[in-house]
């Protein structure tokens, strides 16, 4: 089988929809968009983004609950990182330290690009392998180098503006240390698409193996998501949603194989993900923020940003374990789907 769910649905979820909406938002001027797109994306986050975080927790702790203390990587991601995050959040609240929450905010900004890059690369490699398209180790290394370079440039781009910004009531500013090279960062980010393109062309010609559009789509998407050259104000708020759709393609495939396609078991996985996601990202933090006058000097949504920072950053470390090539416990369910 050369697809995960179906050829068309795979293409849409892995990034086809993302590309389509980028084109739409690029062609329509912002002033003509009357829709409150930020609110729309918040609603979609409730149904898609939140469950995608929680499903990673289920897979990680169910698959590795007996291995957490026997593997250093699992120990770091499953025990040490969440304890460290809880300590920073607790101390930040106890001492009313805005600096602690700014540290978490910029840690999230730094690691989100890393997470997006790794997911895009993983989607590309797994889907190419499913379809019988393989690369040499040197080609893989060069693609990784190009993608990681794109990530670093996207992070540097944050520091091309010194305006005061707001994240759920947490005000912050960034030093514009790269403002003089802003244009060069945009152009330089596109340079790293060249070696990836040349590798795919060379490998196709040399081995007479055609790579499908679906397999290439994650690589196209990651440049739309992270390259400063493709920044679009409306599309920017859509990126987490499309990232989550991409994630759901593979986690649904995992749960389908893990449960041997038993609909009740699949519903149990995703039902829990939806309910817990609603609790942790909406109901619990909003209730706490409404009833406790705590940390208002930092943000009126102190509990909400705490949940967001903890789950986002921890999720990145969890995924760094889940989707590794050597993780046979997860890999077998993608291969056997």
pLDDT of residue 33: 66
pLDDT (tens digit per residue) in 273-292:
999 999 999 999 999 999 98
pLDDT of residue 311: 96
pLDDT (tens digit per residue) in 179-196:
999 999 999 999 999 999
Phi first, then psi: give them for residue 297, nearest 5 degrees. -65, -25
Quote the pTM value.
Answer: 0.92
CA-CA-CA-CA torsion sign (191, 193, 195, 201)? negative
DSSP letter, residue 169: T
pLDDT of residue 296: 76
pLDDT of residue 21: 93
- Per-run averaged pLDDT (10 residues), the chain, 337 residues: 88 96 86 70 83 95 92 95 97 94 96 94 93 92 96 95 90 92 93 95 86 95 96 90 95 92 91 95 94 84 96 95 85 70
d(CA 271, CA 267): 6
CB-neighbour burial class of residue 93 (10 A; exposed 0-12, middle 13-18, buried 19+): middle
d(CA 173, CA 254): 41
Q: What is the DSSP string of 264-316?
A: HHHHHHHHHHHHHHHIIIIIHHHHHHHH---STTT-TTHHHHHHHHHHHHHHH
pLDDT of residue 336: 47
Length of the chain: 337
- CB-based contacts of 135, cutoff 8 Å, min separation 6: 125, 128, 143, 199, 203
């Amino acid at each position: 089988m050369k697809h995960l769910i179906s050829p068309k649905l795979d293409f849409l979820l892995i990034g086809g929809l993302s590309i389509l909406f980028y084109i739409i938002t690029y062609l329509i001027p912002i002033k003509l968009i009357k829709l409150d797109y930020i609110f729309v994306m918040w609603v979609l986050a409730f149904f898609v983004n939140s469950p995608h975080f929680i499903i990673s927790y289920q897979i990680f702790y169910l698959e590795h609950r007996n291995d957490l203390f026997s593997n250093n990587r699992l120990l770091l991601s499953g025990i040490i990182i969440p304890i460290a995050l809880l300590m920073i959040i607790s101390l930040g609240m106890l001492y009313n330290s805005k600096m602690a929450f700014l540290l978490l905010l910029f840690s999230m900004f730094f690691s989100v690009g890393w997470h997006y890059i790794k997911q895009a690369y993983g989607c590309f490699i797994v889907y190419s392998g499913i379809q019988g398209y393989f690369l040499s180790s040197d080609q893989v290394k060069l693609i990784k180098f190009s993608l990681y370079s794109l990530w670093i440039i996207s992070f540097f781009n944050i520091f091309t503006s010194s305006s005061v910004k707001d994240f759920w009531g947490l005000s912050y500013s960034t030093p514009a240390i790269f403002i003089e090279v802003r244009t060069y960062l945009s152009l330089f980010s596109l340079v790293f698409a060249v070696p990836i393109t040349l590798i795919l062309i060379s490998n196709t010609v040399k081995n007479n193996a055609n790579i499908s559009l679906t397999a290439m789509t994650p690589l196209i998407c990651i440049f739309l998501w992270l390259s400063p050259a493709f920044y679009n104000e409306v599309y920017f708020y859509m990126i987490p949603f499309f990232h989550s759709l991409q994630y759901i393609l593979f986690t649904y495939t995992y749960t389908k194989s893990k449960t041997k396609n038993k609909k009740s078991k699949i519903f149990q996985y995703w039902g829990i993900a939806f309910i817990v996601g609603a609790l942790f990202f909406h109901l619990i933090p909003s209730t706490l923020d409404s009833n406790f006058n705590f940390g208002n000097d930092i943000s009126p949504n102190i509990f909400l940003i705490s949940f967001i920072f903890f789950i986002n950053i921890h999720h990145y470390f969890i995924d760094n374990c889940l989707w590794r090539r050597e993780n046979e416990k997860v890999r077998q369910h993608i291969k056997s789907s």
